[in-house]
Amino acid sequence: MSAFLTYLLNGLAVGCAIALIASGLVVIHRVTGVVNFAQGTFAVVAGLCASSLLGLGFPHGLSELAAILVAALAGLLTGLAAIGRRGTTPLSSLIVTLGVGVLAYAVEIVLWGDQPRSAPGLAGSVTLAGARVQTQHLLVIGVTAAAFVLLALFFGRTYLGKALTACASNPYAARVVGIDTRLMGLLAFALGGLLGGIAGVLVTPLRPISFDTDVTLIVNAFAAAVFGALTRPVITLAGALLLGVAETMAAGYGYGSHQLEVALGLMIVVMIVQASRRSAISQEPA
Amino acid sequence: MIRRVAGPAVAAVTLALPAVLDDSALAVYILLGLAAMVTVGVSLLMGYAGQVSLGQGAFYAVGAYTAALLSLHGVPPLAGLVAAPVVAAASALVIGVPLLRLRGHHLAFATLAMQLILLSLAGQLEVTGGDIGLQAIPQFSVGSFEAGGASAYAYLTWIGLALVMLVTRNVITSRPGRALRALATSETAAASSGIPVGRYKLVVFALSAAFAGLAGGIYCFYTGYVAPGSFPVLISIQYIVMAVVGGLGTIWGAVVGATAITLLVQGLNSLAALPGMPSYAPGVLSYAVYALVLILVVLFLPRGLLPALSGRFDRDRGHR
């Protein structure tokens, strides 16, 4: 029983990290209509940055914060490439973000080499109802909960958040009332970078990260975001938690080598079910 | 006029090349030809059917593993090479029925997922040799003739590419080819004018998979081994880069794109191998080239290199 509880809590922590990356995908897609392939890259960049800064002797907190800001900057630059030029279609933008992800490989290998790196996190573990849980896992869960609450407040209660939502629901009307949709798009990319960065610094102490970890991160995050049809953050969170728990349980009960297949298979099934429920005309680009 | 001469001229020059190139140059020639074969399929799929596949490398792998497994079990290599595109196309038909209901980025991610699942399975199954892969694949042979040197594989690649281009040309100039062009513009409009959209998309998907499978089959005989590591996700991205760079929906554009990217990466690799360069230089340079070329072409030459160049040429002639 305690093993089950351990797996459950570990799974929730893994799911929370996926949820943070996925929420970045959702934010960007809601505002710009672009699926950002480089979303996993932001987490990798932040994780590698944090490990370097900590290695140089900078204190905890400061290092993580700096790494997250670097990821936000990376998000902004990705946004400039993907939607900075007028008349780029969402599919072209997807291919551009794919290019940004590959470009990041080159930069990451030059700066950090191609070997996986790790970073120290919160040490120790606590015992909850007979299950031992690493403190870092609890930190991941706590930070994710806070991030989702803040995101909800930001989108629901602030003018800036409402302006972002306006761009998503009707770009033309948003422009008519004086909202700069391109600026909002760039802001969404920076926010996506920020969220990916938070996930990156939280995950690096749990599992070592290397330049090509982004592929697993992005497919997991996309799988979670697909649950919420790429627009609904709360369902995305639920999807990510489900995914994290399913993967950890598969690993814990001896099917570890099939983790990836579980996640990807689940994603494909969800997408196909969703696609068959929507009519063809509503999906046709205007 | 130029177009009529250019094709046969390119054919004649490329046919003569294997006789004069040395082995390392022949390796580039063969890999270039194989990449072009897959890229023609990608160009057809993306340019005509409007579908993005980030998993084309998976069909390349299916072809390679099919030919390798068959010939390792005593089947004549020629039969293995024929089976490679057939099995790749068949698997595309099976996978395509559910997957092609997806569009745009959903399809892109689903095909990427398909390749990751396939690689993970190939790395774990006994039949495929796990992570080590399959080794000691016999040389390609037809009857008593055995392909010993690289030049034999160069000619085999040439024949394969010519076949692929010929099939593609006949497909796109046919009546279904026009239907495909309609489908790429608007699926709804195409469907309402009576085009069986789903079936056509599936056939193009299978055809592009067959091209990749054929290339994979030749590849496994040439290198003599296949392993999951030979088919990273980057290889699928590389085909997209080549197709986009050359110009989507054009046969020669795919070949031009594959040639341009292969030679560029090859040139930079030999630059990176110079003494004094860090050991990671080749990898870094090829990542950077794929990325920058892809981003710049998508943003500034959305129709691709060849259409942009020939468009300029036609305009210049028009002025005179």
Q: Is B283 on the interface with A (CB under 8 A)?
A: yes
Please check the confidence at residue B58 and state whether its pLDDT lies above 80.
Answer: yes
pLDDT of residue B174: 85
* Neighbouring-strand partners of residue B146: B141
CB–CB contact B295 A219 (8 Å) = no
Token pair for A182? 């391109």
Q: Give the chain A residue whose CA is nearest to the CA of B236.
A: A98
Q: Is B294 on the interface with A (CB under 8 A)?
A: yes
Confidence band, pLDDT 50/70/90 cuts, at residue B320: very low
The letter for the amino acid at B14 is T
Q: Is B234 on the interface with A (CB under 8 A)?
A: yes
* Neighbouring-strand partners of residue B81: none
Q: Which residue has the tokens 């008593």?
A: B144
Burial of A286 (0-12, 13-18, 19+ CB in 10 A): exposed
Confidence band, pLDDT 50/70/90 cuts, at residue A284: very low
pLDDT of residue B245: 85
CB–CB contact B294 A276 (8 Å) = no
Q: Which residue has the tokens 């990705």?
A: A78
CA distance A98 to B291: 8
Partner residue opposite B186 with nearest CB, options A222, A272, A284: A284
Contact assessment for residue B244 and residue B298, using Cβ atoms and an 8 Å cutoff: yes
Q: What is the mean pLDDT of residues A16-41?
A: 89
* Neighbouring-strand partners of residue B141: B146
pLDDT of residue A274: 79
Q: Is A153 on the interface with B (CB under 8 A)?
A: no
CA distance B225 to B204: 29
Please check the confidence at residue B299 and state whether its pLDDT lies above 70.
Answer: yes
Token pair for B39? 């890229």
Mean pLDDT of chain A: 83
C-alpha to C-alpha distances, B55 to A37, A197, A276, B58, nearest whole angstrom: 15, 28, 22, 5
On chain B, the residues whose CB falls within 8 A of the CB of A276 are 101
Q: Give me the total of CB pairs closer than 8 Å, taking one residue from chain A and one from chain B.
A: 124
Confidence band, pLDDT 50/70/90 cuts, at residue A120: confident
Interface predicted TM-score of the whole assembly (ipTM), two decimals: 0.83
Kindly write down the DSSP assignment for every residue of B280-304, as one continuous string: THHHHHHHHHHHHHHHHHHHH-TT-
The letter for the amino acid at B55 is G
Q: Is B235 on the interface with A (CB under 8 A)?
A: no
Q: Is A90 on the interface with B (CB under 8 A)?
A: yes
Q: Is B263 on the interface with A (CB under 8 A)?
A: no
Confidence band, pLDDT 50/70/90 cuts, at residue B319: very low
∠B217-B218-B221 over CA atoms, to 5°? 90
Q: What is the mean pLDDT of residues B186-190?
A: 79
Q: Which residues contact B86 (CB under 8 A, 6 or more apart)?
A: B210, B213
CA distance B265 to B268: 5
Q: Is A180 on the interface with B (CB under 8 A)?
A: no
Token pair for B93? 């038909």
How far B131 CA sits from the closest chain A CA (Å)? 13
Q: How many CB atoms lie within 10 A of CB B225?
A: 15
* C-beta pairs of B124-130 under 8 Å, 24+ apart in sequence: B124/A257, B127/B69, B128/B65, B128/B69, B128/B228, B129/B227
C-alpha to C-alpha distances, B197 to A38, B44, B104, B144, B182, nearest whole angstrom: 32, 15, 15, 46, 10
Q: Give the chain A residue whose CA is nearest to the CA of B51.
A: A91
How far A264 CA sits from the closest chain B CA (Å)? 6
Q: How many CA atoms does the CB half-sphere of A282 hold within 13 Å?
A: 6
Q: Which residues contact B74 (CB under 8 A, 6 or more apart)?
A: none
Confidence band, pLDDT 50/70/90 cuts, at residue A69: very high
Q: Give the chain B residue whose CA is nearest to the CA of A277.
A: B101
pLDDT of residue A220: 86
Q: How many CB atoms lie within 10 A of CB B312?
A: 10
Contact assessment for residue A245 and residue A11, using Cβ atoms and an 8 Å cutoff: yes
